[in-house]
C-alpha cells in the first residue's frame, strides 16, 4: 500500500521548494547572478521521506548521506543535525564532515583506493567502520588497525552482478566496485570474509553493495538481496556461524528530473518484505542502511540565472542566460532535462524555445523538460533551474574563465545566509596559474 500522505510534493509536478519572487530578486541584487539557492527544510524533508520509505522493514533503519553528491559545509551541517550516517570515500571528505560538526562515529568509510596510509589516516581521525572491496584493501586495513591498536568493524562490499536499469550502472560487467561472491581468488567475498573472521583487529559487521545512480526499477535490489541471502547461507555452511550486523543497500534513489520515477516508499515497500524474510532466514535482525547523495540533495536547490539576451531564429525564440553548463555539469553529462522557469510569471511557452548558456560552445544548450515554463522570458528576468542540488553544484569548473557562483542557503527559520562565497576573477586568475607568473 502506498501512503499518499508521504508522496513528495515534487511528484505532482508542482515544483518544490518555493521561493518568493521578491526574495529571488533581492538575492540577485545582493549576490549577483548566477547563484545557487539551497532550501534547508527540503534537505531535512528528504531524510524523513527516506525513513518513511523503509519503515516497513522490521529492524533498525539508518539513512546515510553520500557526501560526494554535495560537500558544501552548510549542507553537511544540516545533515549532521539530523543524526544520520555519512558515506565517505576520501580522507578529505572526512575532514569536511568533522569540520562541519559531524562525528566520526557516524561515518562508514568506503574507499576506492584502499591504501594502508589512507586507512591509517581515517582511523587516526576516529573512523571505526570501514567497507573493504579488495583483498589488498583488507590486508591494508588489518595492518592499519593493528598499528593503531584499535578494533575496526569491517564490512564487505560485494558486487552482486545484477542488471540495473538506471542512468549510471555499477554492477553487471562492472568490476571497479566490490568483490564477486566467489571469484575463486583472494579477491572474493568468501575469502575476505574468512580472513576477517580470523583477524583479531577486525570485527565483521556486514555487507554493502551499490548498484548505480538514478535507479528506476527496484527489481535490481531484489535480485541483489536474493543473491546475498544465498551467499550468506553458503558461507555459513563453509565457515561456521557469523553475525550480520548491518546490510547497506547503497545509493541510487531516483530524482524526477522531469519524468515519473518511483518514490522511496515505492522502492522501500517493494523490498521491505524480502528484507524481513532475510532476517528470518539468516536469524539476524541487521540494521538496514540506505545511502543517498542524489535523492537527499537534488531537489533542495535551484540555480538562479538572468536572461541576458533573446533573439528569434526561424520559428524559435532563443533565450540566453548568464550561466553555462560549466555550473551544471552533472546535467550535461547525463543529459538531464531540468525543469526551468521564468520569474516572475513563468508559464509554458506558446512558441518553440531554446535555452542557451553563456559559453561559446555549441554544446551549451540546456535540455529542457516538458514541465518548463519559459513563456514570458525577457531580458533582465530571472530563470530558475530546479533540482540541481546533487553533483552539479560541486562539479563547477572554471571553463571560459568563469568564477564559481555563490551559494545561498535558506535556513529552517526562513532567513538567508551565504553557504559559499562567489569566487572573484582575481582569485580565479591566481588559482588558475596567475600567481605562478614571474612578476
Ligand atoms: C555515489 C554513491 C552513492 C550515492 O549514489 P546516489 O545515486 O547519489 O544516491 C552511494 N553509495 C556509493 C558507494 C556511491 O559510490
Specify the CATH number for the domain of residue 315. 2.40.37.10
Where do we find the cell 515554463? 373
Atom of ligand 1 nearest to the CA of 295: 9
Q: Are strands 316-321 and 301-313 parallel, antiparallel or unpaired?
A: antiparallel
Q: Which three three-digit cell numbers place residue 365?
A: 544548450
If asked whether residues 232 and 317 sit together in one domain, one would say no
Choose the final residue of a domain: 268, 292, 316.
Answer: 292
* Cis amide linkage into residue 356, ω under 30° from 0: no
If asked whether residues 135 and 277 sit together in one domain, one would say yes
pLDDT at residue 173 tops 90 = no
The Å distance, Cα 87 to ligand 1 centre, comes to: 8
pLDDT at residue 13 tops 60 = no
If asked whether residues 26 and 151 sit together in one domain, one would say no
Q: Does residue 101 sit within a domain? A: no
Q: Does residue 6 sit within a domain? A: no
If asked whether residues 192 and 273 sit together in one domain, one would say yes
Nearest CA to ligand 1 atom 10: 251
Q: 126: domain CATH number? A: 3.20.20.10
Choose the final residue of a domain: 269, 292, 315.
Answer: 292
Q: Does residue 10 sit within a domain? A: no
Where do we find the cell 555452511? 237
* 3-state helix, strand and coil shares in percent for the chain, rounded to the nearest 5: 35, 25, 40
Q: Give me the chain's average pLDDT, please.
A: 93
pLDDT at residue 6 tops 70 = no
Q: What is the DSSP letter of 223?
A: H
Q: Does residue 388 sit within a domain? A: yes
Average pLDDT in the 1-24 region? 61
The rounded distance, in Å, linking the Cα atoms of 287 and 8 is: 25
Query: What integer pLDDT is reported at residue 3 of this predicted model?
Result: 39
Q: What is the pLDDT of residues 34-70, one digit of tens each?
A: 999 999 999 999 999 999 999 999 999 999 999 999 9
Q: Does residue 381 sit within a domain? A: yes
The rounded distance, in Å, linking the Cα atoms of 252 and 120 is: 30
The Å distance, Cα 409 to ligand 1 centre, comes to: 24
| pLDDT > 70 fraction of the chain, expressed in percent and rounded | 97
Query: What integer pLDDT is reported at residue 331 of this predicted model?
Result: 77
Atom of ligand 1 nearest to the CA of 294: 8
Q: What is the DSSP letter of 414?
A: S
Query: What integer pLDDT is reported at residue 246 of this predicted model?
Result: 98
If asked whether residues 407 and 425 sit together in one domain, one would say yes
Average pLDDT in the 294-299 region? 96
Atom of ligand 1 nearest to the CA of 170: 15
The Å distance, Cα 212 to ligand 1 centre, comes to: 7
If asked whether residues 268 and 137 sit together in one domain, one would say yes
Choose the final residue of a domain: 292, 325, 354.
Answer: 292
Best of 251, 290, 292, 387 for a ligand 1 pocket test (most atoms within 8 Å of beta carbon): 251
Confidence of residue 185 (pLDDT cuts 50, 70, 90): very high
Q: What is the pLDDT of residues 413-431, one digit of tens each?
A: 999 999 999 999 999 999 9
If asked whether residues 134 and 251 sit together in one domain, one would say yes
Q: Does residue 359 sit within a domain? A: yes
Atom of ligand 1 nearest to the CA of 110: 13
Chain-centre distance of CA 394, in angstroms? 11
If asked whether residues 382 and 273 sit together in one domain, one would say no
Best of 49, 63, 68 for a ligand 1 pocket test (most atoms within 8 Å of beta carbon): 68
If asked whether residues 303 and 285 sit together in one domain, one would say no
Q: Which of 80-84, 96-100, 338-342 has the lowest mean pLDDT?
A: 338-342
Domain span holding position 169: 111-292
* DSSP per position, 321-350: ES--GGG-HHHHHHT--B-EEEETT-B--S
Query: What integer pLDDT is reported at residue 15 of this predicted model?
Result: 58
Best of 47, 89, 213 for a ligand 1 pocket test (most atoms within 8 Å of beta carbon): 213
Question: Which has more pLDDT, 211 or 368?
Answer: 211
What's the structural domain count of the chain?
2
The rounded distance, in Å, linking the Cα atoms of 343 and 350 is: 17
The Å distance, Cα 136 to ligand 1 centre, comes to: 23
φ/ψ of residue 97, rounded to 5: -65, -45
Query: What integer pLDDT is reported at residue 439 of this predicted model?
Result: 84
Cβ proximity of 152 and 201 under 8 Å = yes
Average pLDDT in the 324-340 region? 85
Nearest CA to ligand 1 atom 13: 210
If asked whether residues 138 and 247 sit together in one domain, one would say yes
The Å distance, Cα 67 to ligand 1 centre, comes to: 9
Average pLDDT in the 244-270 region? 93
Residues in contact with ligand 1 (CB, 6 Å cut-off):
66, 68-69, 87, 110, 210, 213, 250-253, 291-295
Average pLDDT in the 11-34 region? 86
Angle formed at CA 195 by CA 193 and CA 199, multiple of 5 degrees = 120
Query: What integer pLDDT is reported at residue 175 of this predicted model?
Result: 82
Q: Does residue 287 sit within a domain? A: yes
Best of 69, 113, 246 for a ligand 1 pocket test (most atoms within 8 Å of beta carbon): 69
The Å distance, Cα 96 to ligand 1 centre, comes to: 18
Atom of ligand 1 nearest to the CA of 215: 7
Q: Does residue 73 sit within a domain? A: no
E strand segments, 161-216: 166-169, 202-208, 212-215
Q: Record the pTM.
A: 0.94
If asked whether residues 161 and 269 sit together in one domain, one would say yes
If asked whether residues 409 and 352 sit together in one domain, one would say yes
Residue 241, C-beta contacts closer than 8 angstroms, at least 6 positions apart: none
Amino acid at each position: 500500500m502506498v501512503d499518499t500522505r508521504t508522496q513528495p510534493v515534487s511528484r505532482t509536478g508542482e515544483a518544490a521548494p518555493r521561493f518568493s519572487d521578491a526574495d529571488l530578486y533581492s538575492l540577485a541584487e545582493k549576490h549577483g547572478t548566477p547563484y545557487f539557492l539551497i532550501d534547508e527544510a527540503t534537505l531535512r524533508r528528504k531524510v524523513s521521506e527516506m525513513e518513511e520509505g523503509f519503515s516497513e522493514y522490521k529492524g533498525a533503519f539508518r539513512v546515510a548521506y553520500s557526501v560526494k553528491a554535495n560537500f558544501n559545509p552548510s549542507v553537511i551541517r544540516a545533515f549532521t543535525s539530523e543524526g544520520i550516517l555519512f558515506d565517505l570515500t576520501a580522507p578529505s571528505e572526512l575532514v569536511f564532515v568533522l569540520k562541519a560538526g559531524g562525528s566520526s562515529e557516524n561515518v562508514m568509510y568506503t574507499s576506492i583506493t584502499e591504501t594502508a596510509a589512507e586507512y591509517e589516516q581515517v582511523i587516526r581521525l576516529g573512523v571505526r567502520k570501514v567497507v573493504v572491496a579488495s583483498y589488498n584493501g583488507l590486508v591494508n586495513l588489518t595492518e592499519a588497525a593493528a598499528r593503531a591498536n584499535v578494533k575496526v568493524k569491517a564490512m564487505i562490499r560485494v558486487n552482486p552482478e545484477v542488471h540495473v536499469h538506471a542512468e549510471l550502472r555499477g554492477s553487471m560487467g562492472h568490476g571497479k566496485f566490490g568483490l564477486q561472491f566467489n571469484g575463486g581468488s583472494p579477491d572474493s567475498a568468501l575469502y575476505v570474509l574468512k580472513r576477517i573472521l580470523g583477524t583479531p583487529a577486525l570485527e565483521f559487521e556486514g555487507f554493502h553493495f551499490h548498484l548505480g545512480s538514478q535507479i528506476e526499477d527496484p527489481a535490481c535490489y531484489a535480485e541483489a538481496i536474493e543473491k546475498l541471502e544465498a551467499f550468506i547461507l553458503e558461507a555459513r555452511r563453509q565457515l561456521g556461524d557469523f553475525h550480520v550486523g548491518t546490510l547497506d543497500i547503497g545509493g541510487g534513489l531516483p530524482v524526477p528530473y522531469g519524468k515519473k520515477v518511483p518514490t522511496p516508499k515505492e522502492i522501500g515497500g517493494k523490498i521491505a518484505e524480502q528484507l524481513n524474510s532475510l532476517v528470518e532466514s539468516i536469524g539476524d535482525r541487521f540494521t538496514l542502511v540506505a545511502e543517498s547523495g542524489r535523492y537527499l540533495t537534488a531537489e533542495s536547490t535551484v540555480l538562479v540565472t538572468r536572461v541576458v539576451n533573446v533573439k528569434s531564429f526561424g520559428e524559435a525564440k532563443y533565450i540566453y542566460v548568464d550561466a553555462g553548463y560549466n555550473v551544471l555539469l552533472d546535467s550535461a553529462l547525463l543529459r538531464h532535462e531540468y525543469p526551468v522557469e521564468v520569474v516572475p510569471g513563468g508559464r509554458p511557452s506558446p512558441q518553440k524555445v531554446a535555452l542557451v548558456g553563456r559559453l561559446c560552445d555549441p554544446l551549451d544548450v540546456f535540455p529542457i523538460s516538458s514541465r518548463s515554463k519559459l513563456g514570458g522570458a525577457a531580458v533582465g528576468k530571472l530563470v530558475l533551474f530546479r533540482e540541481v542540488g546533487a553533483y552539479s553544484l560541486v562539479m563547477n569548473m572554471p571553463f571560459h574563465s568563469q568564477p564559481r557562483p555563490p551559494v545561498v542557503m535558506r535556513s529552517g527559520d526562513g532567513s538567508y545566509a551565504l553557504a559559499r562565497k562567489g569566487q572573484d576573477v582575481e582569485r580565479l586568475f591566481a588559482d588558475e596559474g596567475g600567481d605562478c607568473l614571474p612578476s
